[in-house]
Chain A
Amino acid sequence: MIPAPFAYRRAGSVDEALSLLAEHGDEAKVLAGGHSLLPLMKLRLAVPEVVVDVGRLQDLSYVRDEGDAIAVGALTRHRDLETSDLLAREAPLLSHAAGFVGDPQVRHRGTLGGSLVHGDPASDLPAVVLAMGGTLVARGPRGSREIPAADFFQSLFETAMEPDELLTEVRIPKPQSRGWGFEKFNQRAIDWATVGVAVSGDQRPAIALVNMGGTPLRATAAEQALADGGSVADAAALAADGTEPPSDLSASADYRRHLARVLVRRAVEDARGRA
């Protein structure tokens, strides 16, 4: 299976990418690592007329220490997240989770920015960035703007990005506490998460859920219970409260709720074990 015909345009700079996007508007799609977009195009579930390849924008691939935050370029590949010493030291949840995305070949191509903008609630890294309280930096014809992760994911495959914008950076505040936990439950190692859990912090952690609704979600009831000094088990029992998880081939909604409760308990226990 092959994509329907389109015009390929390669951006040599962020500005060029922005002007290509401005020129082609809704007809254009940004191509980063291509590991979400191309599979959709091959099945003809996406049929853009113009593809703007930003894959060469090396200046958007970096992990930098900026004092109280880590700045990660949008074009940083999963593999680079996974192997970044700086992340391993300062934001281990992100580098650890990146190692669970897809398979090695996918991690050699897929990017953090693509993972976030694609807006797939089954993806791992959106929940991680949400749990870590990240901020996304988008550039467009109207300049740059910063979008907190909590506002970024709007609904299934919908984010706060405008079609003429490019995601350039993700800022991750350095965690205040050392604890973190990550659980990805899938049938086969290569599968997307049936349910996943990212926990940042230990005593009053932020907890984000993968594949428990149309967007990555915070498990607020469980967070609150922990913040109130409740036991991990009691808090975990609230993990699925307020969620409307999908029922599909890999799991019913009920089973997903159950998994969320088990995985949150395990991830928080892990986080506390690491603290």
Chain B
Amino acid sequence: MSILGTRVVRAEDPRLLTVGGTYVDDLREPALVGAAHATFVRSPVAHARISSIDVQDAREAPGVVAVFTGRDLDISPSPPAPMVTAAMARPALATDVVRYVGEAVAVVITDERYQGEDAAELVMVDYDPLPAVVSGEDAVRGETLLFPEAGTNVAWTGGAEQLDEHLFDDCEVVVTQVIDNQRLAPAPLEVRSAACAWSDDQGQVTLWLSTQGAQAARDELQRQLGLEEGQLRVVAPDVGGGFGAKIAADPETAALCAASRRLGRPLRWVESRSENMIAMTHGRAQHQTVTIGGRRDGTVLAYRIEVLQDSGAYPRESSWLLPILTMNMASGVYAIPKVETAARSIVTNTTPLSAYRGAGRPEATAAIERAMDLFASEIGMDPAEVRRRNFVAPDAFPFQTPSGITYDSGEYAKALDTVLEAAGYPDLQEEQRRRRERGDPLQLGFGLSAYVEITAPDNAVGETGRVEVGADGSVTVYTGSSAHGQGHATAFAMLASDELGIPMDRIKVLHGDTAKIPKGAGTYGSRSLQLGGSAVHEASVEVVKRARHLAAELLEADEGDIVLDRDAGRWHVKGAPATAVSWGELAQQAEGDGGLAADSDFSEERPTFPFGVHLAVVEVDVETGAVRLVRFVSVDDAGRVVNPVLTEGQRHGGIAQGAAQALLEHMVYDADGNPQTGNLADYAFITAAELPSFELLPMETATPLNPLGVKGIGEAGTIGSTPAVQNAVVNAITHLGVRHVDMPATAQRVWAAINEAKER
């Protein structure tokens, strides 16, 4: 029986549970013995010219080895994405102008960790304040420019150049809403960290980095540091979460490597949480205007979304990738005849933006799913019914959207029905009616979200896999994918075990070391299983093929007569199981010939499109505005499931993060660009006490695009849950005249919305 699809507990857990993982700060490598500590000095102001940096006092403080400013270190600036003007390039350490609170201006190197914080306080920087650009409107107005040479604060524009005045001409009903998809802090529980050691002759350098992709980090850093290909080895030890914000390397890492080279001493850097909240990239931060129109019978005819993407102070991939993904996924699960999208990315004096779980797709889903509810409420139809009437039909796949994207497969109505049935939708409606009649202070609300998302959007980049059988019959799997909690070591071992018939405990999965895996893309965009997993699968198939050839030689039989007994993990001639050869023997046989191994570089022709339906139930205390999420029911169809334990875990985590955006989390700046939620006491990170257990329903619709039939699941939970929860909050208080509540739907906001409706 195949192990695929069964509930296998994780191989990686015993170590994590008994002694804890080995994160960068835990490394005790010989090469890091005597490593000094790096502490960055960061700007306390949002926008200013640096008139001077005085490091004298800091240099004389106890334990200080060196203090470097941007002028001391030779690092090429990070160019913005190719589509953005080069005038918006970012230096590793700010030299002339600081553009956000938290931007690094100097680095202090000390013998001991504690000395770094003491000495960093002694670096005196004179800031000549400039007006801070914080709001989107200010940025667009352009009175103050972050990069005067660029001549504008607009970093990128995309989509329709001119809006179509006639888009909604056929519609009986048109609804418009401005939606703030607020700025969030990714806040992986492990902050950013890195350690670096150069060889004595400085020809080689090893960087241990908390990253989602060692190879991409290597390429970027080699360029910034002016290194030859092959000089830099990047190793990802255990990584305590990433959520998109640890893709590749940040400027601090380049500074660390450069400082280490200057000093000829290994260095380690572990930021504090307060630094992490303002200096690690943020996510979301989209200001949207959505318009939806259709007929009173529930048919949606046209939809428009205009996106203003805040890129923060330095445009990264965020400035174009996030709005592009939002525009691509604009029409969601619906067959809407006319869809128009337009986007602009701006720079502001705030922390730079980048990917955060979902990266552009949650923003698309939040917009269309809010719009569907607004439309439903405008025509007085049940939101479930409006959705059903507009779904892309199951026989329409592959389905090309007006945005030009081709969805591979989907069963949207089935997902909706499954969720409504499990949730007891009519009972919920009844209970809501009862509470409304009673005038209960605790009102019930339920909200739906039907989503489709794109996984492995960079399908053509592909992923590498290598499967190697050792002389002892054990297996090593190498993957370019880069786990940081997802459970690759378990899933990928299952894939290899299933093909090879070798038990999982004999299979080791390696990732995140450029010396061992020179080519790889990493883990992001829910790509790991479909690309990396497919590569491991293909390599395993190839190893079996080679093994069959070797077995035929050893057993002196025809390849066609050779059988792999997967239960026993041995090879024999058909009908003669008594004379069998083991994997180890075959590997020994292949030793002279490059060993028994195979490589694969798997890419997909097109991305895949997982989908699902989420239903959230909330209770709203209408006297205080307090919201409590009481139930959460979901279908998340990500194609075939290799290990339900892992997919459920991904869904749980995603749902919680999405609910946190809907209810609690918000990275807030004041008008001068000072972050107001710069630590975990002020930033409302969701806890167990704010969440219910989740009711997950199974559903699998295979994709034809890869041999495993799998789609991505890493971000689905987040994408689906946010609008479900937001819609539920609004639904609980529509009878009081409330039409929309922006996220996060804090108690105060809900209370204010109820008051406003009363006054209207």
Contacts and interface: CB of A to CB of B under 8 A. Distances in A.
Query: A and B: real partners?
Result: yes
Interface of A: 1-2, 4-5, 43-44, 185, 187-191, 194, 249-252, 255, 258-259, 262-263
Contact of A188 (B117, B118, B664): B664
A262 B748 CA distance: 13
A255 to B, nearest CB: 5
A187 B624 contact: no
Contacts of B117: 1-2
Given A2-B114, A187-B664, A262-B624, A249 B676 contact: yes
A251 B684 CA distance: 14
Contacts of A259: 624
A252 B749 CA distance: 11
B274 interface: yes
Contacts of A251: 748
Nearest to B683: A249
A2 B664 CA distance: 28
B41 to A, nearest CB: 14
A43 B117 CA distance: 11
A194 B626 CA distance: 12
Q: Which 10 A-B pairs have the closest CB atoms?
A: A189-B689, A262-B623, A255-B748, A1-B272, A2-B114, A249-B676, A251-B748, A262-B624, A188-B690, A190-B687
A249 B687 contact: no
Interface string B115-132: 001100100000000000
A1 B274 contact: yes
B374 interface: no
19 contacts: A1-B117, A1-B274, A2-B114, A2-B117, A5-B118, A187-B684, A187-B747, A188-B687, A188-B690, A190-B689, A191-B684, A194-B747, A249-B668, A249-B676, A249-B677, A251-B748, A255-B748, A255-B751, A255-B752
Interface in B16-66: none
B406 interface: no
Interface residues of B, number: 26
Nearest to B690: A188
B686 interface: yes
A263 B441 CA distance: 13
A194 B676 CA distance: 17
A158 to B, nearest CB: 22
A189 B748 contact: no
B568 to A, nearest CB: 51
B565 interface: no
Contacts of A187: 664, 684, 746-747
B492 to A, nearest CB: 37
Interface centre among A5, A44, A187 (most CB of B within 10 A): A187
A256 to B, nearest CB: 9
A185 B684 CA distance: 15
Interface string B642-680: 000000000000000000000010001000000011000
Contacts of B169: none
Interface in B78-113: 113
Contacts of B752: 255
B561 interface: no
B166 to A, nearest CB: 43
A263 B121 CA distance: 44
B181 to A, nearest CB: 20
Given A252-B748, A262-B623, A189 B676 contact: no
Interface string B247-276: 000000000000000000000000011100
Contacts of A191: 684
A189 B690 contact: yes
B682 interface: yes
Contact of A249 (B623, B664, B682): B682
Nearest to A252: B748
A249 B690 CA distance: 19
Interface string B604-647: 00000000000000000001101000000000000000000000
Contacts of A2: 113-114, 117
A247 to B, nearest CB: 11
A1 B681 CA distance: 14
Given A249-B668, A262-B624, A188 B751 contact: no
A188 B626 contact: no
A132 B682 CA distance: 31
A252 B676 CA distance: 15
A189 B687 CA distance: 8
Contacts of B272: 1
B624 A188 contact: no
A194 B624 CA distance: 11
A120 to B, nearest CB: 13
Contacts of A43: 274
A185 B628 CA distance: 13
Nearest to B621: A262
A197 to B, nearest CB: 12
A262 B752 CA distance: 15
Nearest to A192: B681
A258 B117 CA distance: 43
B61 to A, nearest CB: 11
Contacts of B747: 185, 187, 194
A195 B665 CA distance: 20
Interface centre among B624, B677, B690 (most CB of A within 10 A): B624
B127 to A, nearest CB: 20
Nearest to B755: A258
Contacts of A263: 624
B682 A185 contact: no
Nearest to A183: B624
A249 B664 CA distance: 12
Contacts of A250: 748
B759 to A, nearest CB: 14
Contacts of B274: 1, 43
Contact of B689 (A188, A249, A255): A188
A259 B626 CA distance: 11
A259 to B, nearest CB: 6
B191 to A, nearest CB: 12
Contacts of A5: 118
Contacts of B118: 4-5
A251 to B, nearest CB: 6
Nearest to A262: B623
Nearest to A259: B624
Interface in B273-301: 273-274
B748 A188 contact: no
Contacts of A185: 624, 626, 747
Contacts of A1: 117, 272-274
A19 to B, nearest CB: 30
A107 B114 CA distance: 28
A249 B674 CA distance: 13
A3 to B, nearest CB: 9
B682 A188 contact: no
Nearest to B275: A1
Nearest to B666: A249
Interface string B155-168: 00000000000000
Interface centre among B113, B686, B748 (most CB of A within 10 A): B748
A49 to B, nearest CB: 15
A173 to B, nearest CB: 32
Contacts of B687: 188-190
A265 B690 CA distance: 25
Contacts of B689: 188-190
A223 to B, nearest CB: 21
Given A188-B687, A194-B747, A251-B748, 12 more contacts: A1-B272, A2-B117, A43-B274, A44-B121, A185-B624, A185-B626, A188-B684, A249-B668, A249-B677, A249-B682, A259-B624, A263-B624
Contacts of B676: 249
B681 to A, nearest CB: 8
Nearest to B627: A187
A183 to B, nearest CB: 10
A212 B118 CA distance: 37
A191 B114 CA distance: 29
A27 B688 CA distance: 41
